[in-house]
Amino acid sequence: MSYEDFDKLKAMYTQLIGLVCYSKETDSEDEKIDCFLKMFQIVRACLKFSPYTHFYTQVLIDIIVKTYNSKVFRTDLLLKSQIGVFIENPKYYAKEFYEDLEENPYTIERILHEFTDNIEKVSTKKHNEYIKYFETIRDLLIENFMEKKTDLKKLLELISKYSNNSTEEQIRFELFKVIQNNFTINKCENCGKLFIPVTSSKNPNQKGRNDQKYCNNLYLDTGKTCKEIGALNKQKEKVQKSSIQKEYNREYKRMHGLHYNHTKKFKEKQFKEWSKKARELRDSYTDEQIEDFKIELKKLSDLYWK
């Protein structure tokens, strides 16, 4: 992809932002459905640039829709998608509650429901605030995409230069580079394909960790890489198995709800203080001590809300 292509992609993302925002703010069900169908047309057009755009486009749409539905800047979705970008504005920092919140699986029914879900009327000030945030996310996604595509382009140019465009020679050249640099080859535990462990370091001489279990290839039509799927599955498995984590999550949601509904009585500073102590308490107990943990967690919560 050339810089012109990325400019075109940015323009399409801008169009996508306007379309999804209009859909969330209109009261007309017919207009919501019309926007939903137009959104898929833009998504298909984005795919013409590269199959990797599907992942970034999905994250952008998800952030816009869920920001409207929750009234919170859903920057946590960048972290959950494992997109390594830095948010400079502290106002956009991810909220801890949503970082721990497990997202629903992607289905057409789920996307349509969240896309067309009615919300409270959005003021002009809030609308402009949202647009500025979404444009920030747009720029960060494209910047991240450009960095990854640049690395890929350099590799392809290098292969083409030494292989005379022969598929067989390309394979030989790649195998030669693997042997020459003593790269490790692992088998992905998700898709079963072979891959070379990579590193996020900018040092060209630094190799990836040999114990990596998942590749960075997109898996089927999920829009996510095997590495991202593996991390999500590992986290889900940990949460599902840990009774301490389950109890902590339950109490965290309860206390957050109390803080959200009684901000004057249960202030943000108090909630953050409770949250920090609750995490420390959680990390000091094992699943075998679940009953003791419940007692101590209740004592802690009672200090802040009775």
Report, as an integer, the average pLDDT of 269-280. 92
At residue 52, the pLDDT reads 65
First to last CA, the chain: 59
* Of 7-16, 64-73, 170-179, 235-244, the least confident: 170-179
* Of 97-111, 155-169, 171-185, 243-257, the least confident: 155-169
Report, as an integer, the average pLDDT of 149-166. 47
* Distance, CA of 158 to CA of 174 (rounded, Å): 10
Report the 3 state secondary structure along the chain: CCHHHHHHHHHHHHHHHHHHHHHHHCCCHHHHHHHHHHHHHHHHHHHCCCCCHHHHHHHHHHHHHHHHHHCCCCCHHHHHCCCCCCCCCHHHCCCHHHHCCCCCCCCHHHHHHHHHCCCCCCCHHHHHHHHHHHHHHHHHHHHHHHHHHHHHHHHHHHHHHHHCCCHHHHHHHHHHHHHHCCCCCEECCCCCCEECCCCCCCCCCCCCCCCCCCCCCECCCCCCEHHHHHHHHHHHHHHHHCHHHHHHHHHHHHHHHHHHHCCCCCCHHHHHHHHHHHHHHHHCCCHHHHHHHHHHHHHHHHHHCC
Residue 253 has which token pair?
């949601």
What does the buried/exposed string (b/e) look like for 88-102 if buried means 16 or more CB atoms within 10 Å of the residue's CB? eeeebebebbbeebe
* Distance, CA of 19 to CA of 45 (rounded, Å): 15
Report, as an integer, the average pLDDT of 48-68. 82
203-245, pLDDT tens digit by residue? 444 445 667 888 888 888 888 888 888 888 777 776 667 899 8
Higher-pLDDT residue of 211, 169: 211
* Distance, CA of 275 to CA of 267 (rounded, Å): 12
Amino acid at 59: V
